[in-house]
Amino acid sequence: MSKNSLSHLYSREAACAQPSAIRDICALVARPEVRSLAGGWPDPAKFPTEAIRRIFDKQIATHGDQMLQYGSTEGLEDLRQALAERMKTEGLTETTPDNLIVTHGSAQGMNLAAQVFIDQEDVVLVGLPTYFGGPGAVNARGGEAVGVLVDQDGLNPDYLVEEIKRQKTAGKCVKGIYVIPNFQNPTGVTLSLERRQQLVSLAETHDLILFEDDPYADLLFEGKPIPSLKSLDLSGRVVHLRSLSKTFVPGFRLGWAVGDEGAIRQMVVAKQFSDAATNTPAQYILLEFIRQGLLDKQIKENIEFYRHKRDFMLAQMKQHFPQEATWNRPLGGFFIFVKLPENMNAAELFQRAVDRNVAFVTGQPFFVDGSGHNTFRLSYSQVGEEDMEAAIREIGNLIKEDLAGPKQNKVT
């Protein structure tokens, strides 16, 4: 039997699913000699390994029976209460354990929300560019992700309104908007307060759901936090998704979602048939980590750590990149987004960089319309300074070679 002989039996959801371009790139550059600025993964140097070991030893001795048993689908009640209290400090004053679900990362939160709200052929508006986890969840449900321009202040509400009208004129059902408000992946931009208010108003006017994916919220390097869309939401239209992968540890796969109580209840039902419950030992460890004040301490240390990395990468780019390349200065998060002249192709640049043992993520996979050929994303989160400097210098040299010609990486 050939390995493709069952494809006619695949579900519509499986047929729509696409592999992650970042995962493919990271597999390609897994060689130890490659200086990778590709993956947006936390630096293992900041994992609180000793604290986790200490907490686990104590918890397994005192709560072993509960830790190793099946847990509730909603998540450990005491943990939900602790997370709800954290949300209240961010302006989500109505958060309770009843409108919060513990998930396997914010990615699962988006998948569950899509199961609850997205039907086949529904349209969800997303950023151009945006992290492909959101569009992937929409596409997996048979929906359609339609791109709207992201500029220096994030998603542009005027363009959103135009696109909503265009889709409705074409007879489409526009169901929602997927937005990463803080230090967006891949651009690093932050949605302004004015635009957050406009998006909430727009959702009310056009009867939409806002999928607010906020995994980097706690990694603010400078300035004051901007209120979340959920904190501005008076009608329950925002599903607020959070992750602990960037501030605690990614391997535990922990996150949570806050939303309308009825919507969260439906997400719980969807999760029951997905994985039944979130990793119970990890929840117990996180709860004690929070109770001991270690999560707040960890977040504070992470901010200083990654701010230094951002500053170092920006300094290297200023030194080694030509002025024809432009980039952002993120206020937090993990990413810097680079734009090259229109006649250059970042995919070809990537191939040449890999030949020199350097890697980054090309921008095109983040554009649902297939544009972005002359863009790429750099991550400063995991790499050390020596490799970072060498990688940025090499990429800068490659860009300069292309600009000098005569054989430029022109788009054909």
Spell out the residues 6+ positions from residue 129 whose beta carbon is closer than 8 angstroms to its own.
Answer: 147, 150, 186, 187, 337, 363, 366, 367, 372, 375
Largest CA distance in the chain: 70
Q: How confident is the model at residue 365 (pLDDT cuts 50, 70, 90)?
A: very high
Average pLDDT over residues 323-350: 97
pLDDT of residue 2: 53
Same domain, 134 and 113: yes
Domain of 124: which CATH number? 3.40.640.10
Cα–Cα nearest to 383, from 135, 115, 34: 34
15 by Cβ neighbours in 10 Å (0-12 / 13-18 / 19+) ranks as exposed
Q: What is the mean pLDDT of residues 231-252?
A: 97
Q: Average of pLDDT values for 142-163?
A: 97
Distance from the Cα of residue 390 to its chain's centroid: 27
Residue 146: closest CA among 128, 169, 132: 128
Per-residue pLDDT, 103: 98
Residues 301 and 283 in one domain: no
Q: Does 250 reside within a domain?
A: yes
pLDDT bracket for residue 407 (50, 70, 90): low
Cβ(240)–Cβ(257) below 8 Å: yes
* 8 Å CB contact between 367 and 147: yes
Q: Is 20 left (phi over 0), alpha (psi -120 to 50) or beta?
A: beta
Instruction: Please report the pLDDT score of residue 22 as a whole number.
Output: 67
CB 359 within 8 A of CB 383: no
Is the domain of 27 the same as that of 145?
no
Q: Has residue 16 been placed in a domain?
A: yes
Q: Residue 276: is its pLDDT beyond 90?
A: yes
Same domain, 191 and 258: yes
- Is there a single domain that holds both residue 272 and residue 302? no
Position 3 in a domain: no
What are the pLDDT digits (tens) for 70-115? 999 999 999 999 999 999 999 999 999 999 999 999 999 999 999 9
Share of the chain above pLDDT 90, in %: 90
Residues 279 and 304 in one domain: no
pLDDT band at 1 (very low <50, low <70, confident <90, very high): very low
- How far apart, in Å, are the Cα atoms of 175 and each of 51, 117, 168? 43, 8, 11
Confidence (pLDDT) at 332? 98
Return the bridge partners of 359, or none.
36
Given 292, 315, 331, the domain boundary residue is 292
Reported as type and span, the H/E element at residue 128 is strand 123-128
Is residue 10 very low, low, confident or very high in pLDDT (cuts 50, 70, 90)?
Answer: confident
**Domain with 68 in it:** 49-292
pLDDT band at 19 (very low <50, low <70, confident <90, very high): confident
SS3 of residue 148 by DSSP: strand
212 lies in the same domain as 288? yes
Structure tokens at 62: 């005192």
Q: Is 178 exposed, middle or buried (0-12, 13-18, 19+ CB in 10 A)?
A: buried
Tokens coding 130: 């945006």
Overall average pLDDT of the 125-140 stretch = 96
* Residue 377 shares a structural domain with residue 234: no
pLDDT value of position 282? 98
Q: In this structure, are 148 and 199 located in the same domain? A: yes
Q: Note the pLDDT tens digit of each residue in 193-213.
A: 999 999 999 999 999 999 999
Are 43 and 93 found together in one domain? Answer: no
Task: Read off φ and ψ for residue 264, nearest 5 degrees.
Answer: -65, -40
170 found inside a domain: yes
Q: Are residues 116 and 55 in the same domain?
A: yes
Nearest-CA neighbor of 213 among 139, 293, 171, 154?
154
User: Residue 39's pLDDT is what?
Assistant: 87
Count of alpha carbons within 13 angstroms of residue 224, beta-carbon side: 4
Q: What is the pLDDT of residue 126?
A: 98
Once rounded to an integer, what is the mean pLDDT over residues 363-390? 97
What pLDDT was estimated at residue 186? 98
Tell me if 220 is assigned to some domain.
Answer: yes
Measure the CA–CA gap between 363 and 378, rounded to whole angstroms.
10
Enter the pTM of the model: 0.95
Mean pLDDT value across the chain:
94
Are 266 and 315 within one domain?
no
Q: What is the pLDDT of residue 280?
A: 97
Is 409 a domain residue? no
In angstroms, the CA 190 to CA 370 distance is 23
Q: Which of 292, 310, 339 is the last residue of a domain?
A: 292
Q: Mind listing the pLDDT tens digit for each residue in 299-333?
A: 999 999 999 999 999 999 999 999 999 999 999 99
Within a domain: 1: no
pLDDT above 70: residue 3? no
Q: Does pLDDT of 26 surpass 80?
A: no
Q: What are phi and psi of 338, to 5 degrees?
A: -115, 135
- pLDDT at residue 408 above 50? no
In whole angstroms, what is the distance from residue 318 CA to residue 323 CA? Answer: 9
Scored b (16 or more CB within 10 A) or e, 367-379 reads bbeeebbbbbbbb
pLDDT band at residue 12 using 50, 70 and 90 as cut-offs: confident
Residue 11 has a pLDDT of: 85
Q: What per-residue confidence (pLDDT) applies to 32?
A: 82
Q: Is residue 411 part of a domain?
A: no
Give the model's pLDDT for residue 24: 65
Give the domain CATH number at 394.
Answer: 3.90.1150.10
Q: Residue 4: its pLDDT value, please? A: 60
Count of domains forming the chain: 2
Pick the last residue of a domain from 292, 314, 334.
292
